[in-house]
Structure formats: structure tokens, C-alpha cells
Amino acid sequence: MSESYDAELEEIKKRKLLELQRKMEEEKQRRMQIEAILRRILTPEARSRLANLRLVKPELANIVEQQLITLAQSGRVPVPITDNFLKKLLAQIYEQTHRETHIRILRK
């Protein structure tokens, strides 16, 4: 009984490992496609800025990348996208998402 349980457990582990490897490969392929598109639509300075953003805020970098790709594919922005355009886009995103915190101290 223990041997069949161990064999079944090993089979499940193998399937999970294969599934994980497949997902990692798909993610790697998707990332390579995104990088290829970004190389075509961004200037080197803009790509460098986006890479720096990815180090600090990876989630935001993913959102910005998707927006840039969508804008470029729909023809709504001139290609190549410059560093100045990227700065303006990031400033707009910052203004939309940033909340200023005010602390008021009331004294009796």
C-alpha cells in the first residue's frame, strides 16, 4: 500500500513540476515578446527609464508597458516613444494615483 501511495505521490509531483515548467516557459516567451515590442517602440533612453522603474515598482512598470504597447499599436502616439513622452506619462499616472496626506494637529 505504501509503495503505491509513494508512486502516486511521485506522479503528482512530476505533473506539478511539468506544469510549473510550462508556465515559466510561457511567461518567459511572453516577456521576450514584450521586450521585442518595447525595443521597437521606445528610444534607448526611454527603455532605460522603464528598466529603472521596473526595479523600483515592477507592478507599475507592467502597467506602463501595456499602456505604451496599446498606444503604439493603435497609432495614438508617435513611434519611437521618447524619454520626455515617457516622463510626461509617468507624471500623469503619478498625479492620478498619488494622494497627498495632510496631518492636522488640533490643540485644546
The answer to the question of residue 77 being in a domain is: yes
CA 92 to each of CA 6, 46, 65, 81: distance values in angstroms, whole numbers, following the listed order: 57, 16, 15, 16
Widest pairwise Cα distance in the chain: 76
The answer to the question of residue 108 being in a domain is: no
State which residues form the domain around 15. 2-97
Residue 108 clears pLDDT 90, i.e. is over it:
no
The answer to the question of residue 104 being in a domain is: no
pLDDT value at position 106? Answer: 87
The answer to the question of residue 103 being in a domain is: no
DSSP string, 3-40: HHHHHHHHHHHHHHHHHHHHHHHHHHHHHHHHHHHHHH
Q: What is the pLDDT of residues 2-36, one digit of tens each?
A: 788 888 999 999 999 999 999 999 999 999 999 99
- Our count of domains for the chain comes to 1
pLDDT value at position 18? Answer: 96
The answer to the question of residue 35 being in a domain is: yes
pLDDT value at position 1? Answer: 60
The answer to the question of residue 75 being in a domain is: yes
CB burial of residue 16 (10 Å; 0-12, 13-18, 19+): exposed
Q: What is the pLDDT of residues 53-106, one digit of tens each?
A: 999 999 999 999 999 999 999 999 989 999 999 999 999 988 888 777 788 888
pTM, 2 dp: 0.73
Q: What is the CATH number of the domain that holds 14?
A: 1.10.8.140
The answer to the question of residue 25 being in a domain is: yes
